[in-house]
Amino acid sequence: MALSRGLRCCQRVFSWIPVLIITAVVLWSYYAYVFELCLFTITNTLEKVAYLLLFHVCFVMFSWTYWKSIFTPPASPCKKFQLSYSDKQRYEMEDRPDAQKQILVEIAKKLPIFTRAQSGAIRFCDRCQVLKPDRCHHCSVCEMCVLKMDHHCPWVNNCVGFSNYKFFLLFLAYSMVYCIFIAATVFQYFLKFWEGVLPNGPAKFHVLFLMFVALMFFVSLMFLFGYHCWLVAKNRSTLEAFSAPVFANGPDKNGFNVGTRRNLEQVFGENLRLWFIPVFTSQGNGHYFALKNRSSESQNPLLANEDMWEESDDGSEEGSLAEDVDPSVTIEMEE
């Protein structure tokens, strides 16, 4: 037990290494650009002031989005999807698998679940003791089920999902802006140092490396950002791009695709002025997502009786999730 705890502690410490690497590179780039380039190399005062102002705008937006991507906790399913104490007792005391499935079926009748396991059964996480909402997956690193999980990113040491996907996209975007701004403004001085117009000194090496590092990161970020833009336009997560979500009628990679505009609004919200600001504006609460084929929803009895969701023990406002689920489907445990 003590060894296991020690290993988990070491794993948590080592998981911060990629973040520390990025932080170190960014801090060095700040020093190299502000001090070695702007203060020690550039002689034109107007150019120096303009570069410093624009650089700090890019730096602040990059740092803000990176911070939000790292420290925004992943969203987990609400307690409506968790087994209550009594249901958990019934489930654990029952030895027959079929009876256990029937217990879960009774619970699932009140939940807006449309996706299925590969076998066609409703998904259940045995580790978290929770019925998985649509697009929810269990992260073995975070040791929790994450709403609309996209992937676990080591560079932010966090799960990218419903709660921080917008922040992650903005982080990629502002990282590209940061890199391309540095490369564009450093380029003329890079050439002057390279051709020997400017004298050799500490600034030369900082400027040369700034150029190479900025271009290297920009190229890699460009492909990653382009891929995620395509995912947003299609309303898919990274996991769904590799394995299409399964519905009652079978797998459908476009099951959540409701049009490019609505897909974008699901992530960024309806207020265009807030699209490029790292504040949470995503639509919904991560438990239910509109489907491409709305007709399949109208066939479910939960839509006809929304009180089944709204009349809860705690009287919470989660009744707004009321949508349909097919009560006849079986359930199987899935980790």
pLDDT in tens, the chain (335 residues): 566 677 778 888 899 999 999 999 999 999 999 999 999 999 999 999 999 999 999 999 999 999 999 999 999 999 889 888 888 888 788 878 777 777 777 787 788 888 888 877 778 898 988 999 999 999 999 999 999 999 999 999 999 999 999 999 999 999 999 999 999 999 999 999 888 888 888 889 999 999 999 999 999 999 999 999 999 999 999 999 999 999 888 899 999 999 999 999 999 999 999 999 999 999 999 999 999 875 444 444 443 333 444 434 444 444 444 443 343 344 444 44
Tokens of 160: 């990218």
Q: What are phi and psi of 146, to 5 degrees?
A: -115, 130
Please report whether residue 101 resides in a domain: yes
Q: Which residues pair with 139 in a beta bridge?
A: 144
Tokens of 26: 């960014």
Q: Is the distance from CB of 228 to CB of 169 less than 8 angstroms?
A: yes
Q: Kindly list the strands in the beta sheet with 122-125, ordered across the sheet, starting from the edge strand earlier in the chain.
A: 130-131, 122-125, 331-333
Q: Say if strands 130-131 and 122-125 run parallel, antiparallel, or are unpaired.
A: antiparallel
Distance of CA 7 to the CA centre of its chain: 26
Please tell me the distance from the alpha carbon of residue 285 to that of residue 264, in angstroms, as a whole number.
16
89: alpha, beta or left? (left if phi > 0; alpha if psi -120 to 50) = alpha
Tokens of 194: 């390279």
Please tell me the distance from the alpha carbon of residue 133 to that of residue 148, in angstroms, as a whole number.
9
| Residue range(s) defining the domain that contains residue 111 | 79-132
The tally of domains found in the chain comes to: 2
187 and 268 part of one domain: yes
160 and 228 part of one domain: yes
Please tell me the distance from the alpha carbon of residue 74 to that of residue 235, in angstroms, as a whole number.
19
236 and 115 part of one domain: no
Tokens of 119: 């076998």
pTM (two decimals): 0.85
Q: Is 92 exposed, middle or buried (0-12, 13-18, 19+ CB in 10 A)?
A: exposed
120 and 239 part of one domain: no
158 and 258 part of one domain: yes
Tokens of 17: 């290494």
255 and 268 part of one domain: yes
Catalytic sites, residue numbers: 153
240 and 160 part of one domain: yes
Largest Cα span, the chain? 82
Please report whether residue 141 resides in a domain: no
159 and 253 part of one domain: yes
121 and 244 part of one domain: no
Please report whether residue 282 resides in a domain: no
Q: Is the distance from CB of 118 to CB of 246 less than 8 angstroms?
A: yes
One-character DSSP codes across 100-169: HHHHHHHHHTTS----B-TTSSEEEETTTTEEPPTT-EEETTTTEEETT--EEETTTTEEESTTTHHHHH
Q: Is 50 exposed, middle or buried (0-12, 13-18, 19+ CB in 10 A)?
A: middle
Predicted local distance difference test score (pLDDT) of residue 151: 96
52 and 192 part of one domain: yes
Q: Is the distance from CB of 111 to CB of 310 less than 8 angstroms?
A: no
259 and 117 part of one domain: no
Question: Which of these three, 274, 301, 325, is where a domain ends?
Answer: 274
54 and 200 part of one domain: yes
Predicted local distance difference test score (pLDDT) of residue 170: 98
Please tell me the distance from the alpha carbon of residue 120 to that of residue 116, in angstroms, as a whole number.
5
Position 263, amino acid: N
Predicted local distance difference test score (pLDDT) of residue 194: 87
Please tell me the distance from the alpha carbon of residue 241 to that of residue 234, in angstroms, as a whole number.
10
